[in-house]
């Protein structure tokens, strides 16, 4: 005798209680984009964009907003663990925000200190390249479920210590940004490293005034006049001196990360070529 088919009715679906079905639908409708850590990530982006708007002429506002955006980087990780909302999207959002905000600040520094522009361009390239190659190597060689922060100590002891300890990671990232923010503030306060664009010329009455070249509101000269002697340079110099060793260490870690990830990809290439029997021996004609 054939078993009767259980049909959907008002009391359940395929024999399951309505409450269970509703719970399953609720779980299926979970919106990753509205997770609390990701909302914090969006807030970081908004704050960073506003800070960039104030960056050319308003150092205090820019520094405050930029710093808050950076500090929220630690908050979203705590929220992800607290609410069990760690996601791959959140990890990528966090990394992209970090790379883009730092790159934008370095672009400004390259324009503020044109003599050192090539150095800042190199730092941007190193930061982007090391993190991209590291992420790609992790996904390719470690599998799609592998996190870029899970490092095998046998592959790199330095990266293991850097990524496995949240306090170490936060300290390096925070002081790295502190150094660049300090340089940004020094561009508004220190004639030693930010020489004035306009020459000071003597006036007819014997007092010194600044030249009036390029006085259009959006000209380089007008920006220089707005920046000149606007801040005291004591605190920025102290911040730069304290954070410089850590910033230098962060760049060294970026180099190690780039080299290790490149070698990991090369190992995968060699294994794949061996699997395919490459290079194939040419037949003698």
Query: What is the domain extent for residue 133?
Result: 33-195+227-267
Asked whether residue 168 is domain-assigned, the answer is yes
Distance CA(283)–CA(285), nearest Å, equals 6
Q: Into how many domains does the chain fold? A: 1
Q: Give the pLDDT score at 100.
A: 97
pTM value surpassing 0.85: no
Asked whether residue 91 is domain-assigned, the answer is yes
Asked whether residue 236 is domain-assigned, the answer is yes
Q: Give the pLDDT score at 56.
A: 87
Q: Give the pLDDT score at 156.
A: 85
The mean pLDDT values, 10 residues at a time, for the chain of 285 residues are 49 56 63 96 97 91 96 92 92 94 96 91 97 90 70 83 90 96 88 54 56 52 59 90 97 96 94 90 69
Q: Is 232 a catalytic residue?
A: no
CA dihedral 90, 258, 180, 97 (to 10 degrees): -20
Asked whether residue 127 is domain-assigned, the answer is yes
User: Would you state the structure tokens that stand for residue 70, as one six-digit string?
Assistant: 């950076």
Give 193: exposed, middle or buried? Use CB within 10 Å, 0-12, 13-18, 19+.
Answer: middle
Asked whether residue 27 is domain-assigned, the answer is no
Asked whether residue 222 is domain-assigned, the answer is no
Helices (H), the chain: 18-28, 36-54, 59-82, 88-112, 117-142, 157-164, 166-186, 220-227, 234-275
Number of C-beta neighbours around residue 51 at 10 A: 23
Q: Give the pLDDT score at 150.
A: 76
Asked whether residue 277 is domain-assigned, the answer is no
Choosing from 73, 76, 98, 127, which is the catalytic residue? 98
Please report, for the domain that includes residue 38, its CATH number: 1.20.120.1760
Number of C-beta neighbours around residue 66 at 10 A: 25
User: Would you state the structure tokens that stand for residue 138, as one six-digit string?
Assistant: 């992790």
Asked whether residue 180 is domain-assigned, the answer is yes
């Amino acid at each position: 005798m054939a078993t009767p088919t259980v049909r959907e009715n008002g009391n359940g679906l395929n024999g399951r209680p309505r409450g269970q079905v509703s719970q399953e639908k609720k779980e299926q409708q979970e919106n990753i984009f509205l997770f609390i850590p990701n909302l914090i990530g969006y807030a970081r982006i908004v704050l960073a964009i506003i800070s960039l708007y104030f960056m050319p002429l308003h150092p205090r506002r820019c520094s405050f907003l930029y710093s808050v955006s950076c500090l929220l980087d630690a908050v979203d990780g705590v929220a992800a663990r607290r609410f069990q909302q760690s996601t791959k999207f959140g990890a990528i959002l966090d990394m992209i925000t970090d790379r883009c905000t730092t790159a934008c600040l370095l672009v400004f520094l390259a324009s503020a200190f044109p003599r050192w522009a090539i150095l800042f361009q190199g730092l941007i390239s190193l930061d982007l390249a090391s993190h991209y190659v590291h992420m790609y190597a992790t996904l390719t060689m470690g599998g799609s479920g592998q996190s870029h922060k899970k490092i095998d100590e046998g592959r790199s002891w330095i990266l293991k210590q850097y990524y496995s300890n949240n306090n170490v990671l936060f300290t390096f990232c925070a002081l790295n940004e502190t150094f660049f923010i300090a340089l940004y503030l020094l561009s508004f306060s220190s004639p030693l490293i930010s020489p004035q664009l306009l020459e000071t010329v003597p006036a007819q009455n014997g007092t010194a005034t600044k030249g009036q070249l390029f006085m259009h509101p959006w000209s380089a000269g007008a920006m220089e006049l707005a920046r000149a002697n606007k801040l005291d340079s004591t605190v920025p110099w102290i911040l730069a001196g304290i954070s410089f060793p850590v910033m230098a260490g962060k760049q060294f870690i970026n180099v190690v990360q780039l080299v290790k990830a490149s070698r990991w990809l090369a190992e995968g290439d060699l294994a794949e070529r061996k699997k395919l029997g490459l290079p194939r021996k040419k037949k003698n004609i």
